[in-house]
Amino acid sequence: MQDWTETRLLMGNEAIAYGAVRAGVQVVTGYPGTPSTEVLETAAHLVRNGTSSADVEWSVNEKAALEVAAGASYAGARVMVTMKQVGMNVASDPLMSLNYIGIKGGMVIVVADDPGPISSQTEQDTRRFGEFAKVLVLDPASPEEAYTLAYEAFSLSERIGRPVILRPTTRVCHSTATVQLLPPDAERTIPGFQRDDGKNPHSRPFVIFPALTRRNKAEIEDCLRQASLDLSDFPGNSLSSNPDAVLGIACSGVSYLYVKEALGFFDNLPPLKLLKCASTPAPLPLMEQFLQNLDTVAVFEELDPVTEDALVRTAQGGRFPANIIGKRGGLVPNVGELSPERIASILSFYLELTPNIPRTPAAPADLPIRPPVLCAGCGHRAAFCAVKKALHDKKAFYCGDIGCYTLGNAAPLEMVDTCLCMGAGITIAQGIRKAEPDAVLVAFIGDSTFFHTGIPGIVNAVYNNADILIVILDNHNTAMTGGQPHPGTGRNALGQEAKALDIACVVRALGVDACLEWDALDFPAVVNAVQVYAEQPGVKVLLLHGPCVTACRSTAKPLYVNSNCTGCRNCIRRIGCPAISLDSAGKAAIDRQLCTGCRLCTNACRFEAIAEEGKV
């Protein structure tokens, strides 16, 4: 049981979960995605250790997660939904309508943005999504503030009767800080679902119709306008003022901490005003107070110029003469993360001071580039090699998807020609096949992605009689984000036993007659299966099983290289396994600590130079 009087070292994502539990969250749903994953994992941990009694689930995708949470909120439960920023695209359909309908129990949607990006397809700004959906967004600057805002967001959501988005960025999600834990609120009773509004027994407030939309649209606009007036005192929004200042600095999110550190690089600073915006819409009274008597305002924020645009509108509406500079004029970079050093360099021009930026030791110039690779023994590598060998003499295109197997695009595999978004490989392949009727189209998709958004693509292929081969890479977990369970694993977010959906049965139920299951490491059999399926018309599915080596350590003995090795390097050029390298004599060498004994490399050596220990 948690001691609520202690100070703990928490990662930002952990702090968000602790803040939600303090607020009495009762239902937590989500889909794993870096940098958001640990929020739900921490919530599940707090349930397992008895700190929380919330219902926690990994949902099949972000749309399902938001809809499950919406149903619980309709009944008055406090709910939290977690996802990364591209997951918001998947959840956007219910979110847009949900904001028009409204909620009963507080709903906090945690959407982690990824400036850089570091581990995402896009660098989209969820504050813009909030503006588009007319949903209020909170932007924490630190793990401590993430804890506070996660807690406050629930009561704010209930006050306005609509969902609230909490938008941490990668550095807030994954940095750590000491957080003072506070006692939780009194336990809440879920009032239950009420089909009418309590006034008219024939009303159905949770059924969206154009008339309801028109009426509630006006309420939404009034809500946002009032929020802009009321949020000046909300935690996270602040103004450090100086009556003599003519230069102001405005910032949001983690950029606030960067600015504070950057200002420490200067001596003899002139009087400044510092505005910190943690909400979208930004607090209008605070912005007006900030802009008074300023000649110049520099705005620092990651991703889009949301705070900058709000200040420009405020300055124009209030006839403040300040020159507002930021991303719009090219002063602040539009791409990637900010840093104290980058901000100090920009400020030096306006402060007319030279910053004392600490010198960072230069990295050695001869360090090799080390891109991410598939693990030694990964079944995905075996599948790529087998398909490549089977179709080496054919015109073929390979459509990938989101997961570890995206790494199949790199040399020497080079087996991913396209990668767009979750589940798109199957449908992209159908489109290319229409334009390239003489080519073999192969779509690779993982098991978790299959359940997430792969099934509609298969339905589309069957319905439209597409001629494609779908290779489902089943490693029995959501490996890329840390090994979370999914509907095919037989366990849920709390580690409890759950019904495991059989992927092959699902595929056959969708109308695919040609469906074959095989061990991903059975190289000759997979090669043969691909060659047979490549000659057949229609939709074919090859389900290849290969448990993730990080979750299911192999018991096979490591391999070694015997004296037959000629140094031809064929094993390295064809397989690209990180366990194989060259020794000082230019011969192949196998790292016993990395080798799982999968034997894939033996298929690349025509000299029989790779063998199990104890065998010649």
Instruction: Please provide the DSSP assignment of 564-606 as one string.
Output: T-----HHHHHH--TTEEE-TTS-EEE-TTT-----GGGGG-T
Per-residue pLDDT averaged across 447-464, rounded?
Answer: 97
Neighbouring C-beta atoms of residue 452, cutoff 10 Å: 27
With 90 as the cut, is the pLDDT of residue 426 above it? yes
Q: Percentage of the chain surpassing pLDDT 70?
A: 99
- Specify the 3-state DSSP secondary structure of 512: coil
In this structure, are strands 164-166 and 176-180 parallel, antiparallel, or unpaired? unpaired
Beta-strand ranges (E) seen in 103-168 are 107-112, 136-138, 164-166
For residue 369, name the pLDDT band (cuts at 50, 70, 90): confident
Residue 543 near residue 555 (C-beta atoms within 8 A): no
501 to each of 32, 64, 504, 552, how far by Cα in Å? 19, 17, 9, 20
From the list 52, 20, 282, 30, the residue with the least C-alpha distance to 148 is 20
Per-residue pLDDT averaged across 272-280, rounded?
Answer: 96
Dist CA 313 CA 486 (whole Å)? 46
Per-residue model confidence (pLDDT) at position 1: 56
For residue 198, name the pLDDT band (cuts at 50, 70, 90): confident
Per-residue pLDDT averaged across 456-468, rounded?
Answer: 98
Helices within 164-206 (DSSP H only): 170-174
With 90 as the cut, is the pLDDT of residue 361 above it? no
With 70 as the cut, is the pLDDT of residue 4 above it? no
Per-residue model confidence (pLDDT) at position 615: 59
Q: For residue range 550-586, what is the model confidence (pLDDT) as tens digits?
A: 888 888 899 999 999 999 999 999 999 999 999 999 9
Per-residue model confidence (pLDDT) at position 132: 95
DSSP element (H, E) containing 217:
helix 210-230
Residues 6+ apart with CB under 8 A from 220: 99, 100, 134, 162
Per-residue tokens: 525: 């059999």
- Specify the 3-state DSSP secondary structure of 461: helix
Q: For residue range 468-500, what is the model confidence (pLDDT) as tens digits?
A: 999 999 999 999 898 999 999 999 999 999 999
Dist CA 62 CA 87 (whole Å)? 6
Per-residue pLDDT averaged across 500-505, rounded?
Answer: 97
* Helix axes of 85-101 and 62-74: crossing angle, nearest 10 degrees: 30
Per-residue pLDDT averaged across 430-455, rounded?
Answer: 97
pTM, full prediction: 0.95
Which amino acid is residue 507, in one-letter code? Answer: V
Dist CA 382 CA 522 (whole Å)? 8
| Cα 532 to the center of its chain, rounded Å | 38
| Count of residues making up the chain | 616
For residue 362, name the pLDDT band (cuts at 50, 70, 90): confident
pLDDT top residue among 119 and 36: 36
Per-residue model confidence (pLDDT) at position 202: 63
Residue 517 near residue 525 (C-beta atoms within 8 A): no
Average pLDDT of the chain, as a whole number: 94
Instruction: Please provide the DSSP assignment of 27-79 as one string.
Output: EEEE---TTTHHHHHHHHHHHHTTS---EEEE-SSHHHHHHHHHHHHHTT--E
Q: For residue range 277-294, what is the model confidence (pLDDT) as tens digits?
A: 999 999 999 999 999 999
With 70 as the cut, is the pLDDT of residue 2 above it? no
Q: For residue range 295-340, what is the model confidence (pLDDT) as tens digits?
A: 999 999 999 999 999 999 999 998 899 999 999 988 899 999 999 9
Per-residue model confidence (pLDDT) at position 288: 96
Per-residue model confidence (pLDDT) at position 616: 52
Per-residue model confidence (pLDDT) at position 423: 95
